[in-house]
Structure 1
Amino acid sequence: MAKETGQKMVAQNKKARHDYLIEDTYEAGLVLMGTEVKSLRQGRASLVDGFVDIEGHEAWLHNVHIPEYSQGTWTNHSARRKRKLLLNRVEIDKIERRVNEKGLTVVPLALYFKDGRAKVEIALAKGKKSWDKRQAIAERTANRETEQAIGRRMKGMRD
């Protein structure tokens, strides 16, 4: 059987990029059961309510929904169990220090397969206030309008 290469996206947490200001990102491996891997390979997962917690110098992923494998037997997994993240000790210590000092939170951004192995992209994030969200939306709208105006000018059209 040939080895998998490349990257296959399973799930993304777009709401996290809207609700949080992303400061730093990390790629972590996941400790999964066989039926979880099979369910992920079918492209079924949700990161919406997920978060990362550091317990006893280990990183754990909570509230990520990986549905039960449809053809699994009594060995099937529970959908929202906590899963261990595989990170270096230095990375775990750095994340734990920044969470405790600055009041940041750690959220999952993406779940994907990289060269056949399940990976999760996690981020140190700071919660946005409602006015921050409005400001970000206003900036995106302004940038879009300037790009459209430049495009119209390049085509020789009037504003």
Structure 2
Amino acid sequence: MPRERGQKVVATNRKARHDYTIEDTYEAGIVLTGTEVKSLREGRASLVDGYAFIDGGEMWLDSVHIPEYTEGTWNNHAPRRKRKLLLHKQEIVKISHKTKEGGYTLVPLSIYFSEGRAKVEIAVAKGKREYDKRQALRERQDKREAARAIATRRNLGD
């Protein structure tokens, strides 16, 4: 079977961009079992409660739900187990310095297949306050209304 080319997105965490201000993003490989890979290939995963942390110089992904593979037998995986992330040592050190500054957390943004290998996009993020969220929504709405006004003005001019 030939390797697939390009990217196939399995799951995204859309709420993360609403709840956090994204500072940096990193692409990391994930250490998975066979049934986890098969379940991901079916497009089944949830990043809702997921987070990453550094322990002993290694990065881990926790609380990401990859449901059991339906065709799996007794050797099926646990859906919410801790999974090791594969990053370069320099990247892990850089990320750990950033998170130790305070107020920063590691949030998974998406799980996808790149060149046939499972990857996760991790973000170093800072939590938004409630008024920041409202302000972001207001700015987006203002931009949308301005674009709509320009479009109607342009259509009237024709």
TM-score band, normalised by shorter chain:
over 0.9
1:140 aligns to 2:140 (yes or no): yes
Which residue type is aligned with residue 66 of structure 1? I
Quote the Cα distance in structure 1 between the aligned partners of 2:15 and 2:101. Answer: 25
Which residue type is aligned with residue 118 of structure 1? A
Quote the Cα distance in structure 2 between the aligned partners of 1:91 and 1:153. Answer: 50
Provide Cα deviations, 1:70-96, integer angstroms capped at 9, x if missing partner: 010111000000000000000000000
Query: Structure 1 residue 156: deviation in Å?
Result: 1.5
Quote the Cα distance in structure 2 between the aligned partners of 1:76 and 1:3. Answer: 24
**TM-score, normalised to structure 1's length?**
0.97
Point out where structure 2 has 5 or more consecutive residues left out of the alignment: none
- Contact 2:103–2:127, Cα closer than 8 Å, also in 1: no
- Structure 1 segment 21-100 matched on structure 2, within 5 A: 21-100=21-100
Which residue type is aligned with residue 129 of structure 1? R
- Contact 2:62–2:83, Cα closer than 8 Å, also in 1: yes
How many residues align? The count is 157
Say which SS state the counterpart of residue 84 (structure 1) adopts: strand
Quote the Cα distance in structure 1 between the aligned partners of 2:91 and 2:153. Answer: 49
Say which SS state the counterpart of residue 44 (structure 1) adopts: coil
Say which SS state the counterpart of residue 24 (structure 1) adopts: strand
Provide Cα deviations, 1:41-95, integer angstroms capped at 9, x if missing partner: 0000000000001000000000000000001011100000000000000000000
Say which SS state the counterpart of residue 156 (structure 1) adopts: helix
Quote the Cα distance in structure 1 between the aligned partners of 2:10 and 2:61. Answer: 16
Q: Percent identity?
A: 64
Point out where structure 1 has 5 or more consecutive residues left out of the alignment: none
Which residue type is aligned with residue 60 of structure 1? W
Instruction: Please provide the CA RMSD for this pair.
Output: 0.8
Which residue type is aligned with residue 71 of structure 2? Q
After TM superposition, which residue ranges in structure 1, 4 or more long, deviate above 4 angstroms? none
Say which SS state the counterpart of residue 133 (structure 2) adopts: helix
Quote the Cα distance in structure 1 between the aligned partners of 2:24 and 2:102. Answer: 13
Query: Structure 1 residue 155: deviation in Å?
Result: 1.2
- Contact 2:23–2:126, Cα closer than 8 Å, also in 1: yes
Quote the Cα distance in structure 2 between the aligned partners of 1:8 and 1:46. Answer: 15
Quote the Cα distance in structure 1 between the aligned partners of 2:46 and 2:146. Answer: 35
Which residue type is aligned with residue 140 of structure 1? R
Quote the Cα distance in structure 2 between the aligned partners of 1:31 and 1:10. Answer: 16
Quote the Cα distance in structure 1 between the aligned partners of 2:93 and 2:73. Answer: 38
